[in-house]
Amino acid sequence: MTDVLYRYMCVITDVLYRYMCVITDVLYRYMCVITDVLYRYMCIVTDVLYRYTCVMTDVIYRYTCVITVVRYRYKCIMTDVLYRYTFGINYVLYRHTCVITDVLYRFTCVITDVLYRYMCVRTDVLYRYICAITDVLYRYTCVITDVLYLHVCHH
């Protein structure tokens, strides 16, 4: 009877141990996949916004400069100084907007990358910790069961 209980407890403990590690492994993989998908999605969205902003800024810049040139040449209302000043201001704003957008784009991707790596590291640590704890509990239960089994059988 003791032998049956011993074997039964070890089988149950072993099944629970394997089940917990499989569940932990599945959760670990699932979290990393979800994190990876979010990371890629955020970088793609950021990249699209970055490209769109720069294209729009470039279009507005070119359009403003063309309009300025047409007005300058056609009506001759603006003086040459005013023309150069408008062109210069538009160019500076264009460069400034693209630089700011580029910095924000790089910053967002760096932050996203850091969060992604941090989340995966955290998930990995939790995964290893849970499996280690489960492994210790499994070994401890089997040792206790084994000692009890030997104690009961030999006395």
pLDDT tens digit sequence for 6-46? 677 777 777 777 777 777 777 777 777 777 777 777 767 77
| Helix-, strand-, coil-residue percentages of the chain, each rounded to 5 | 95, 0, 5
pTM beyond cutoff 0.75: no
16-25, 90-99, 101-110, 133-142: segment of lowest average pLDDT: 90-99
Q: What is the pLDDT of residue 83?
A: 63
pLDDT at 70 over 70: no
Total domains present in the chain? 1
> Could you tell me the residue range of the domain that residue 112 belongs to?
2-154
- Angle at CA of residue 7, ends 4 and 12, nearest 5°: 120
